[in-house]
């Protein structure tokens, strides 16, 4: 779940899609039934305190109503600089997936200085079994970035067209400060306040033996595939057009680098990426001081999911 920078223009010849049938559908309270809270120390060293389900419900950090599932951070407490970080939430799906397609219908994502929201999939015993970051960014600095992280050994993602202009293509977590191999989206509506101003949108990810693709459609794009927009019971990724990011298996054995994955949704603050990039973000003070002393600044630091559909 970290950084690398590339822009991508794709041709339809790059990706071969497939047909899938819906296996799981999560809406509202369904998220609470299908995900578990991870009250763990933040692996990315953020200024957060991940809480358990009881605390999250009691403090309204997660709640569900109708087709809304909201996950947020505390936005009322001034923190003791010597105490724990700001209460926040990290949840993980109870089920694991391999070859599959996923669609995330999101109305709102966390925004604000110091925020580092992420929607991703990961295998057990990280970095063994790999990691796929679908939605990720820091400090309101869009657009979105999709990234792969793997164990050492041959796994590079040489983007097939020069127009992709990837600066880093080695997915090894132990080099380049765990930057992985990433693609920066072209659509500025894919992240942060701009995403929210346009009413959110849909992220989709397909994982197969031939590669990993990630798509984004803004709520007002006018080009959203019908089966994505409605969360149809069957989908064909051939109908989805050019992905926003594509990682080919040309020089990466997907089966050996990526095992069964859980879905993770979390919001951290500062830490390895948002903290290190804070000085270049035009945000005030230092990241930790800002998080400690400005709870009001995190009123908009929340996810609002309309639904999540998974296809196998």
Task: Report phi then psi at 261, rounded to 5.
Answer: -120, 140
Active-site residue, selected from the candidate residues 131, 209, 242, 299: 131
Q: What is the DSSP letter of 189?
A: G
Residues in CB range of 54: below 8 A, 6 or more apart: none
Residues 6+ apart with CB under 8 A from 199: 107, 218, 219, 220
Secondary structure class of 14 (helix, strand, coil): helix
C-beta of residue 105 within 8 angstroms of C-beta of residue 77: no
Measure the CA–CA gap between 159 and 264, rounded to whole angstroms: 26
Tell me which of 136, 206, 209, 282 is the catalytic residue. Answer: 136
**DSSP code of 58?**
H
The torsion angles phi and psi of 102, rounded to 5 degrees, stand at -130, 140
Radius of gyration (Cα) for the chain, nearest Å? 18
Q: Verify whether residue 209 is a known catalytic residue.
A: no
CA gap 5, 270 in Å, rounded: 19
Q: Alpha-carbon torsion 141, 143, 303, 269, what sign?
A: negative
Establish whether 299 is a catalytic residue: no
Residue with tokens 């979390």: 266
Which two tokens mark 242?
Answer: 């050019």
Helix H or strand E encompassing 33: helix 29-34
Which positions are annotated as active-site residues?
131, 136
């Amino acid at each position: 779940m970290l950084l690398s920078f590339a822009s991508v223009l794709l041709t339809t010849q790059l990706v071969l899609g497939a047909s899938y049938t819906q296996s799981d559908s999560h809406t509202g309270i369904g998220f609470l039934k299908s995900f578990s809270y991870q009250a763990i120390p933040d692996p990315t060293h953020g200024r957060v305190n991940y809480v358990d389900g009881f605390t999250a419900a009691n403090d309204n950090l997660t709640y569900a109503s109708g087709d809304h599932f909201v996950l947020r951070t505390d936005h009322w407490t001034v923190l003791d600089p010597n105490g724990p970080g700001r209460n926040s939430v990290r949840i993980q799906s109870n089920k694991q997936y391999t070859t599959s397609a996923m669609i995330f219908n999101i109305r709102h994502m966390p925004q604000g200085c110091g925020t580092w929201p992420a929607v991703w999939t990961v295998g057990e015993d990280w970095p063994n079994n790999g990691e796929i970051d679908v939605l990720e960014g820091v400090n309101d600095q869009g657009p979105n970035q999709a990234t792969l992280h793997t164990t050492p050994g041959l796994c590079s993602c040489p983007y097939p067209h020069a127009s992709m202009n990837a600066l880093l293509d080695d997915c090894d977590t132990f080099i380049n400060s765990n930057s992985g191999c990433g693609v920066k989206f072209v659509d500025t509506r894919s992240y942060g306040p701009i995403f929210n101003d346009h009413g959110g949108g849909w992220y989709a990810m397909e994982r197969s033996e031939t590669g990993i693709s990630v798509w984004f459609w803004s709520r007002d794009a006018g080009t959203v595939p019908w089966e994505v927009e409605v969360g149809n019971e069957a989908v064909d990724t051939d109908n989805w057009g050019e992905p926003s990011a594509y990682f080919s298996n040309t020089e990466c054995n997907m089966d050996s680098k990526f095992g069964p994955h859980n879905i993770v949704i979390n919001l951290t603050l500062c830490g390895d990426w948002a903290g290190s990039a804070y000085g270049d973000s035009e945000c005030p003070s230092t990241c930790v001081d800002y998080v400690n002393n400005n709870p009001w600044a995190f009123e908009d630091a929340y996810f609002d999911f309309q639904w999540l559909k998974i296809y196998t």
